[in-house]
Amino acid sequence: MTSPRILLVDDDPTSIQLLGRALMDLGEVVFATSGEEALRMTAESAPDVVLLDAEMPGLSGFQVCEQLKADPRWVDLPVIFVTSHHEAEFEVAGFDIGAADFIAKPVSPPLVRARVKTQLRLKRMADELRHLATVDGLTGIANRRNFDLTLGREWLRSRRSGEPLSLLMIDIDHFKDYNDHYGHLAGDTCLYTVAQALVRAAQRPADVVARYGGEEFAVLLPGAPRAGAEHMTHRILDAVEGLGVAHAASPTARHVTVSVGVSCFDAQSACWTVAPREPLCQPLDLVRAGDQALYLAKAAGRARARLLDIADADRPEAAREIARAARTARKEG
């Protein structure tokens, strides 16, 4: 477990020294002497709790807290005001903008320690619950909810930055036959094994590997154009084949294989735009193109990949081929 990071924000060096001595054994203590510096440090390395002087030159403590709580990343960050104000109205105003607690000046070191330990414990519990809510319990990778949130975030980032975004939709071939032949416990082991192979193949820190549902996985590739997505696809096909997991019931191969649908949103896409212009396509279009490319890969014999641009599915000739592939895939299971 990493040591908690405690950020002290005060323009008075004496107050910082007093608080630092009281809290130094509870975690890594860092400090800022202005609101602007506190916001910058939070963005660079998120603290686990902030002790914030209410009155500072420049940005006040209230303004710092308001800016932190306006950012979705810091909504749950505990902010403790350290203040010489004792009025109930002052505390009510602080709680209204998201403060977690108040400590009155002059501070009592034992009280400061107790209040900070409480907030650190509450944050740790919230972090654990948040982790459980976004991780697939069987495979240990991101779950569908996590994927949906990440897709929305990366789509907005792609539009702002002008960087491409690619998606791989991956399905274990003939998985129902695998379960029928080997049993559901073996099926669970197979899902876990394939998931971990995908994680090893997706080596970039920004790549997100998620269980999309059942035996289907998704790999989101921020910043990857179609050439990069195709390279990742070959890595994944090779990684799963290299597992050598026996699949005696598969008509495709004697071992477990996957089919991959690749969809891309980049400068070659017909609907490509960069903010502030609104694109003609949306994040769900990327998923739809990936799903339809997956149908094409299955119809072509499985254990392979097919690529569709985010706008390809809207072309009449592509739509007809996808419809045929979907019917074939549904018949084969």
Annotated catalytic residues are: 215
User: Which among 64, 52, 65, 56 has a CA at the least distance from the CA of 11?
Assistant: 56
Structure tokens at 283: 């994040």
- The dihedrals phi and psi of 255, each to the nearest 5 degrees, come to -140, 170
Tell me: cis bond preceding 13? Omega within 30 of 0 counts. Answer: no
- Amino acid identity of 117? K
Q: How far apart are CA 88 and CA 57, in angstroms?
A: 23
CB 166 within 8 A of CB 223: no
Taking the alpha carbons at both ends of the chain, their separation in whole angstroms is 44
Those residues whose C-beta lies under 8 Å from the C-beta of residue 224, and which sit 6 or more positions away, are 164, 165, 166, 232
